[in-house]
Amino acid sequence: QVQLVESGGGLVQAGGSLRLSCAASGSIFSIDTMRWYRQAPGKQRDLVAAMPSGGGTNYADSVKGRFTISRDNAKNTVDLQMNSLKPEDTAVYYCNAVVVLTTGYRYSYWGQGTQVTVSS
């Protein structure tokens, strides 16, 4: 009933910037916490940034000061502005959202992922 679609990934040189977007659609009543994760080949999937519905943000130490998460509750979207990118930021980035459906059911959904590659 709910789909999350990421966009904005691509190839960028070290020191450059990218802005990722995630749009949620479907039978949505409300969305609780929205999160960005990333996973490099052969590595675990790690939390990058999170933003609860009530406000506030949390960032992994590795991206603090460089990445900014934001959300638009009216549009059911969440963005990740990535600045001063480093080669170690290379990964597939995934959007995650805890969604309350119009039926009252609560479930965690994942997007399909978008590739970010940072060249040195």
Over the stretch 56-95, which tens digit does the pLDDT of each residue have?
A: 999 999 999 999 999 999 999 999 999 999 999 999 999 9
pLDDT one-digit tens code per residue, 17-52 = 999 999 999 999 999 999 999 999 999 999 999 999
> Considering all CA atoms of the chain, what is the largest pairwise distance in Å, rounded to the nearest integer?
48
Tokens standing for residue 64: 């603090």
Rounded Cα gap, residues 103 and 64, in angstroms: 37
pLDDT value, residue 24: 97
Enumerate residues 6+ apart whose C-beta is below 8 A from 27: 1, 2, 101, 102, 103
Dihedral over Cα of 34, 70, 119, 5: its sign: positive
Tokens standing for residue 65: 């000061």
pLDDT value, residue 1: 85
